[in-house]
Amino acid sequence: MIPDRNRENWLAPKQLAQRIQRRRFLGLTSCLLASIHSTHLWARDDKEASTVRLGLIADLHQDLVPDAAERLDTFLEHSSQHQPHALIQLGDFATPIAKNKTVIDRFNAVDMPKFHVIGNHDTDGGLKIAQVVDNWGMKNRFYAEMVQGLKLIVLDGNDKPKDHRGGYPAHIAEDQLEWLSGELQHAGPMLILSHQPLAGPAAVDNATAVQKLLSAASDRILLAINGHTHIDEFLEVGGVHYWHVNSASYHWVGSKYQHESLPKELHAKYPAMINTCPYRDALFAFLEIDLARGHLTLTGRQSAWLGPSPSDLGLANNPQVTPEIRGREQELRHKISKY
């Protein structure tokens, strides 16, 4: 497995191969803290006011990444410090096959509510969505849950449009849109969760239709959160803020920029990693929401590239392509007069 310390040894594979060990928690914390102040007007009594804390991790890619299990462990260890009310994994987590059972069980064994979002790679190898739902212990492929007075709406962006021509779909079908429309009638605060983005880079192919529904409920939607893009991005469309949560593991650069950042032994065992720029440390985030004041705090994590960065390889510099999840400060304009 990829060690967490002495990262200079990535340049000396023979030495590193002898030092691969379990990633540990001590000394790994490097978080960026920022606050999002909103003008939500929550009509709640002080006694009813509560804070919701959520832990989020995206695109672990257990099937591709040598130390994915240890990256998950690091997230779970940090979660014990932050004490969230629920954990959320945003997809491209681990295909439901026998060799991944330990990782899936490790996430599901946490003694708090935990929620899954299905990614496009979670059915790789010819698996079906129903197999993912069953093996991950999900209630459905799209669903809603309440956590401490906050409604979580989880979408499945893997529907196939009628004109689908192959490849990974990124679509929210009509039946799911109809269901979403009904769920959005909720009078209180909501978070929207999906793997594929609903706005910004790589958005679902019917993003306009989805955004129309969400914008109509923008006075109650705090954030729409996604994974998939392996970037750190925050944008606003139609009164709704959309947050692209960076991958826990790497940024994909593709076959044109293939290179070796890891020891040859690991590249031989995990061949897809040649198309990536790995992150030294696991990335994840914690979201704290004070429902009484409408105050949101994003806590991210900073790492570094293992080996060359995408810009070192010749890709155009992009501030969203970074080995970190930034904390942010944003004034949300929602004003809720009834809750």
pLDDT reported for residue 328: 85
Residue 9 has pLDDT above 90, yes or no: no
pLDDT reported for residue 295: 83
Q: Measured at the alpha carbon of residue 67, what is the angle toward residues 66 and 68, in degrees to the nearest 5?
A: 100
User: Which structure tokens are listed for 337?
Assistant: 């007069």
- Architecture of the CATH domain 57-283: 4-Layer Sandwich (3.60)
Over its C-alpha atoms, the chain yields an Rg (Å, rounded) of: 20
CA dist 198 and 243 (Å) reads 10
User: Which structure tokens are listed for 119?
Assistant: 């990614």
* CA 5 centroid distance within chain: 24
- Per residue in 31-80, pLDDT (tens digit) is 333 333 443 434 444 433 478 999 999 999 999 999 999 999 999 999 99
Residue whose pair of structure tokens reads 């698996």 in the numeric block? 127
CA dist 271 and 80 (Å) reads 33
Q: Measured at the alpha carbon of residue 137, what is the angle toward residues 285 and 90, in degrees to the nearest 5?
A: 25
- Per residue in 101-133, pLDDT (tens digit) is 999 999 999 999 999 999 999 999 999 999 999
Q: Measured at the alpha carbon of residue 56, what is the angle toward residues 118 and 203, in degrees to the nearest 5?
A: 50
Residue 11 has pLDDT above 90, yes or no: no
Backbone angles phi, psi at 216, to 5 degrees: -65, -20
Neighbour-count burial of 28, counting CB atoms closer than 10 A to its CB (0-12 exposed, 13-18 middle, 19+ buried): middle
pLDDT reported for residue 299: 95
Question: Please, are residues 164 and 203 in contact by the beta-carbon 8 Å criterion?
Answer: no
Helix (H, G, I), strand (E, B) or coil at 78: helix
CA atoms within 13 A on the CB side of 139: 10
Which regions of 44-156 does DSSP assign to beta strands (E)?
Answer: 51-57, 86-89, 114-116, 143-147, 150-154
- Per residue in 161-204, pLDDT (tens digit) is 999 999 999 999 999 999 999 999 999 999 999 999 999 999 99
Amino acid occupying residue 270? Y
User: Which structure tokens are listed for 284?
Assistant: 């994840």
339 versus 73: the higher-pLDDT residue is 73
- Per residue in 321-338, pLDDT (tens digit) is 999 999 986 655 443 333
Question: What is the mean pLDDT of the segment spanning 85-92?
Answer: 98
pLDDT reported for residue 330: 62
Q: How far is CA 221 from CA 157, 238, 332, 336, in A?
A: 19, 11, 10, 10
pLDDT reported for residue 128: 98
- Per residue in 252-307, pLDDT (tens digit) is 999 999 999 999 999 999 999 999 999 999 999 999 998 877 789 999 999 999 99
Q: How far is CA 140 from CA 92, 99, 117, 146, in A?
A: 17, 23, 10, 15
The least confident of 3-17, 192-206, 211-225, 279-293 is 3-17
CA dist 246 and 242 (Å) reads 13
